[in-house]
Amino acid sequence: MPLARLRGFALDLDGTVWAGERLLPGAADCVGALRAAGLPVVFLTNNSRDRAAALARRLTRLGIAARSRDVIAAVDLLGAAIRQRLGPARVLPLGARGLRAALAAADHTPVAPERWAEAQAVALGNDPTFDYRKLRAASRAVRAGALFFATNLDARMPTGPEGDFDPGCGALAEAIAVAGGVRPIVVGKPHGPMFEDALARLRCGAAKAAIVGDNPGTDIAGGRAAGLFTVRVAAGGAYEPDAAHEADLVVRDLRELLARWRDARGAGTS
Ligand SMILES: [Mg+2]
């Protein structure tokens, strides 16, 4: 049984572990049981607002004890990816406070939109104050040769139960990409950097690691590409097959995953 041989778990946050300010069913029990069995757990998010430390504090407050190193946040990866390519750089930041803080922590210097010509890189997260002035600055900068980085290409961010959403980072990235004629380097799921970081922290190799997430296009597609065992959380019985992004296992929530994992372990040892 594949579940029984897994040696590390990467868990998506939004829609898998939590929804807003509440943990989803089974989240605390599942993480607790995996840890009690000595299996490492890391949490992943494309969220471009918060750094790992803030997300770890929120997890802890909600009932899952976590430290910064247990969380991989897209904004932190962004700062590291720019540093890897350019060293400490002059960066035009488009995003919320967490993105700016992550860039500062990676020793980058912010460049204001009107000074776009000085930027060596454009760093895009979801930016609720995105406007024509920022679009002009970012597209001119990348057109002139600045490297273009984005946390993720998510089209929408769900904001409510009725299908309400805010436009995602991907929508802003496309505007810059079209005007600037340059595609972004993306650090978040389904792209490689976030999975590579997760595997480095789990220290178990892709074949023995699982990604657990609710988004077929990011969690499952990215996990498959990186060679992980993929578990899709499909709340509300949304089990319709999705041929392009079919997960190895589909569960309703982390409570069901925990039950299946326990069954698999029991079967393996009897
Ligand atoms: Mg999610």
Residue 118 CA, ligand 1 centroid: distance in Å: 36
For residue 159, what pLDDT is reported?
78
Looking at domain 76-186, its CATH architecture is: 3-Layer(aba) Sandwich (3.40)
Q: Dihedral through CA 200, CA 202, CA 207, CA 210, nearest 10?
A: -120
Rounded CA separation 247/249 (Å): 5
CATH, range 2-46+189-269: 3.40.50.1000
Among this protein's residues, is 242 annotated catalytic?
no
Whether residue 132 is predicted with pLDDT greater than 80 in this model: the reply is yes
Instruction: Order across the sheet with 147-150: list the strands.
Output: 109-110, 90-94, 121-124, 147-150, 185-186
How far does the centroid of ligand 1 lie from the alpha carbon of residue 15, in Å? Answer: 4
Distance CA 270, CA 266 (A): 6
Phi-psi region of 38 (alpha: psi -120 to 50; beta: other; left: phi over 0): left
Q: What confidence tens digit (pLDDT) does each residue in 90-122 have?
A: 999 999 999 999 999 999 999 999 999 999 999
Active-site annotation holds for 50: no
| Long-range Cβ contact pairs of 140-145 (< 8 A, separation 24 or more) | 140/116, 140/180, 141/92, 141/116, 141/117, 141/180, 142/176, 142/180, 142/181, 142/182, 143/179, 143/180, 143/181, 143/182, 144/116, 144/117
Query: In b/e form, how buried is each residue of 175-196, taking b as 16+ CB within 10 angstroms?
Result: bbbeebebebbbbbbbbebbbe
| Integer angstrom CA distances of residue 223 from 120, 174, 199, 228 | 31, 24, 11, 5
Q: What is the pTM of this model?
A: 0.91
Q: How many Å from the N-terminal Cα to the C-terminal Cα in the chain?
A: 13
Q: What is the CA(46)–ligand 1 centre distance, in A?
A: 8
The answer to whether domain 2-46+189-269 and domain 76-186 are alike in fold is yes
In this prediction, residue 243 has a pLDDT band, given cuts at 50, 70 and 90, of low
SS3 98: helix
Going from N- to C-terminal start, the domains of the chain cover 2-46+189-269, 76-186
Check whether 235 has a pLDDT greater than 80: no
Is residue 270 very low, low, confident or very high in pLDDT (cuts 50, 70, 90)?
very low
Instruction: Please list the helix, strand and coil fractions of the chain in percent, rounded to the nearest 5, in that order.
Output: 45, 20, 35
> Which of residues 150 and 2 earns the better pLDDT score?
150
CA 47 to centroid of ligand 1, rounded, Å: 9
Query: Annotated catalytic residue: which of 12, 70, 219, 253?
Result: 12
Q: What is the whole-number distance in angstroms between the Cα of residue 27 and the centre of ligand 1? A: 13
Taking a 5 Å cut-off on Cβ, the residues next to ion ligand 1 are 12, 14-15, 214-215
Q: What is the mean pLDDT of residues 120-144?
A: 97
What would the two tokens of residue 218 be? 């990011």
Model confidence over 176-202: pLDDT tens digits? 999 999 999 999 999 999 999 999 999
pLDDT in tens, 40-86: 999 999 989 999 999 999 999 999 999 999 999 999 999 999 999 99
**Active-site residue identified among 14, 76, 154, 214:** 14
